[in-house]
Structure 1
């Protein structure tokens, strides 16, 4: 069964249903306690060998272990463990740990991309990095400038309800795909579409924060330029991920030099931890 990590003793770590290619059981037992030290034991789940692979309901889509629309074997693409980071800083630390020990990563926003395999990793035994449980905050909505800044776990339904609760649904129209329970960021990164002039969701993104494969963090577009507060924080030794970005990050999609945003759309070149979207 799926088991939350209850121990830091490597010998007591349960083994998963599937290990990544070339990844030994001993190394897995070292990896899991160190991972729990980064994100907390409650945010690490080992996919045990005796865990039933339940497809779940497509409307709730809590299937985080495999492809619920499998074509051949339900267990062909299954991860070894699932982790739920709480911040971009934790994502950086998880990526660094996986680099050190050679654990492949499969990142999902909410795991609701049911037409493309859901949360099932392409490399069996990968660590499934689920951004939806904790990193689901609407960081800012600017009704005057018509943009929002989101984390990957925010769904279209969640964003609509946020606007409605604040009486903004008549000022800011949210373009949604057919199924609103999916991630706003995930849908845009996969070139999803909606039904209004803002229906090309990738076209109306503006500014991303991305954790690269080496654990470094970058902000694209205007986000590459710091704010006065951010520069002061840098002098004080605050980590780049915690430095305040400039206030115009979501207004203009370009910065100095080449446009790099496309490197992180429909790719595995980095993990997007924040993204701005224009709303009409």
Structure 2
């Protein structure tokens, strides 16, 4: 009888997802604490199902393409808008049994969740690679073309040659079939994984640059033109990682 068990024991049991027969027994338990625990369990289950459905939708394109293209690389970038630092791209090939439920557009995730998922993606990805174009290249080529070059670098540096690319809002200058997706990091799990990897790699790099070039608050602004960054720029002038072609950097040269 479930009533011989403490409510604490039942709560612990419900964390382990008991079978339907056991849930039926608990549903007949008259204690309010047990019924409250069951409601909490049902809410958790509904949340998990919603996350599973959302991931299934973000894998819809991959599942359609995998029979013909078993190695699909998702491509995304981060860092087109900052005044300092490189543009970083990532290419990520996911396994066909990918199950990290919360992989989504990196901008929709907290910093701690991004870091957690970043480490998990590193562990489960079939392959991944990073592309980078520094500030002098951005100044020379323009930011759009520099991003294309960094995306091509990421693709070309993969150990496994991809059959197909899913790309967030751009075309990669490589000889591979590919599909450009607007807001692709919300529509494709492969692109979403790439967005998380690129974001975390760049954030880690800008945190390092904050120690190399103190006074610009790079660890917190990632090179974007925040008030502290602009104040540092006015006081100290540009660093070697600043983009001279970007306003207002060029006025301090």
TM-score bracket relative to the smaller structure: 0.3 to 0.5
Higher strand share: 1
TM-score (norm 1): 0.30
Higher helix share: 2
Q: Indicate the structure (1 or 2) with the bigger Cα radius of gyration.
A: 2
TM-score (norm 2): 0.33
